[in-house]
Amino acid sequence: MRNRTLIWTGVTTLAMVLAGCDSYRSEIIQPQKELADLNARSATSVAAQVHAYQQGPVTPQYNPDAPLNEAEMVMVALAFNPDLRGRRIAATQLGSTSIGAIINLSPELHVNLNSVTAGVGTDTEVLYTLLVPSARAAWYDADHARTEQARAEILAAESAVASDVRYGHMALRIAWSQLKLSESQVVRCQDFLLDVERGPRQAGDELSPALVIWEVAELHAQLRATQAHLGVVRSSLNALLGFNPDYPLKVDDLEIPLPMPAAAEPTDAEIDAEILAGRFELKATEAQVRRDDYEARRKAFEQYPVLRLGPAITYNRGEGSSFTLGASMHVPWPEHAEQEYDNARVQRSHDRATYVERLHNYRVDAHAACDRMRTARLELESEKGDLIVASAHARELLDEAWKGHAISARDYLTAMRQQSEDERRHLAAQSEWLLARIDLDRSTGRLNTITTPGSATP
């Protein structure tokens, strides 16, 4: 009987010691395999991972067989971002608040080996902390705020990745438009050179072929620079999506004209409202401040003595086993407890200051982006009445004047240079407005303001 009791006590003790332990599983890095997976990654091969990442019926569908749109590129980037993957794993481990977290069950195991006469007695005691209702509520609120903070941080990180992809996508469209503009200018100047080489039309045109050749060479240099810039932008977008830098990424809206401004910039009140509603970083900091507040309240309660109560199982070789109720009183050291409470309040004040600083910085960035949008929009609106700027009618008039021998080759070349410069300036203002709008959306937390390719609704 005694041996059976001893065995039962030992098994119970071992079960309590090993409770909650997980089995080990090796997951080591295999460099060659990881490199091969990266080289094989494409829009088609990542379809399974992207579909696995999708959650909810409102998530856009991913079609790897067609050129990717902006929403699909964001889905790919979110599915393969390593930082987001780690955050999601950590968030899934939080889950809902458990009973143990609510009441703060802290098991304590004491094993005392005492030499008693001719035998050895083993005394095992498990004590559970009993908290007062208000302290238990503080612990629950802190755990709940921790979950909210983790989720807000994930949303903030996802929002940042989505904004980066939007910016990279628009930069690719702008670089593509710059390339097409440079190609058209080169073709036009080459056609003009062929016409000039047929012979002078007016006195003083003998040197015109050399001038046009220089112009063609300069336009070719600009074309090469534009091609190189397009390659850099495409490589940067591939890196955001997790593809190799030289991956031939296909985008569905490269041939669609860039959108033009269609509305005025938001007001200060609208910007402030969008920042408070859309910046998940602020929501995460707000949850952190609530968590600090709950932690300060809990530290305030810990300044007072805490009663610990729990069952105790005792076995002695001479006296046998017994079941008793163990109790203990924890009296904190006054200076130490007060210092911890002060530290909690300092941390709360620090995080509150961080919230205000972030809110201020987001407002500054949003207003700066708004100013850039306004400047670019006014520049574009001022060009609407100018027939020379990107106007097919003005080009037709110039071509007719050249064919009718009304202007010299030098005058035609000068006008063509001015038109090319106006076209580049127009595209630069349009590009500045588009990128500034994305920066405004990034500052306020707005995402995907263009619902369809080519739409001009901000």
* Spatial separation of the C-alpha atoms in residues 231 and 280, rounded to whole Å: 33
pLDDT tens for residues 8-29?
555 555 555 555 555 656 667 7
- Cα dist from 219 to 166, 172, 188, 216, 269, whole Å: 30, 21, 10, 5, 46
Would residue 90 count as lying in a domain? yes
Q: pLDDT band for 116, please (50, 70, 90 cuts).
A: very low
Name the helix (H) or strand (E) containing 374.
helix 334-382
Please identify which residue in the block is written with the tokens 């105790």.
Answer: 312
- Return the top range by mean pLDDT from 174-178, 284-288, 293-297: 174-178
pLDDT tens for residues 419-435?
888 889 889 999 999 99
* Amino acid type, 83: D
**Beta strands 320-330; 119-129: pairing state:** unpaired
Output the six-digit token pair for 100: 């143990």
- Cα dist from 290 to 142, 148, 382, whole Å: 7, 10, 50
* Amino acid type, 208: S
Amino acid 38: pLDDT: 67
Q: Which of 38-52, 166-180, 292-306 has the lowest mean pLDDT?
A: 38-52
Would residue 48 count as lying in a domain? yes
Would residue 244 count as lying in a domain? yes
Mean pLDDT, range 40-52, rounded to an integer: 70
Amino acid 455: pLDDT: 37
Residue 406: left (phi > 0), alpha (psi -120 to 50), or beta? alpha
Mean of pLDDT over the chain: 75
Q: Which residue has the higher pLDDT, 111 or 431?
A: 431
Would residue 293 count as lying in a domain? yes
Output the six-digit token pair for 236: 């940067």
* Spatial separation of the C-alpha atoms in residues 293 and 304, rounded to whole Å: 18
Q: Which residue has the higher pLDDT, 396 or 244?
A: 244
- Return the top range by mean pLDDT from 46-50, 64-68, 75-79, 366-370: 366-370
Would residue 232 count as lying in a domain? yes
Amino acid 130: pLDDT: 43
The domain that holds 327 is classified in CATH as 1.20.1600.10
Considering only CA atoms, give the Rg of the chain: 35
Would residue 3 count as lying in a domain? no
Would residue 385 count as lying in a domain? yes
Q: Which residue has the higher pLDDT, 110 or 291?
A: 291
- Rounded to two decimals, the pTM is 0.73
Amino acid 175: pLDDT: 95
Instruction: Judge whether residue 113 has pLDDT over 70.
Output: no
Would residue 12 count as lying in a domain? no
Mean pLDDT, range 260-266, rounded to an integer: 84
- Return the top range by mean pLDDT from 59-73, 235-249, 440-454: 235-249
User: How wide is the angle at C-alpha 211 spanned by C-alphas 208 and 213, nearest 5°?
Assistant: 110
Query: What's the structural domain count of the chain?
Result: 1
Residues of the domain holding 391: 40-53+63-444
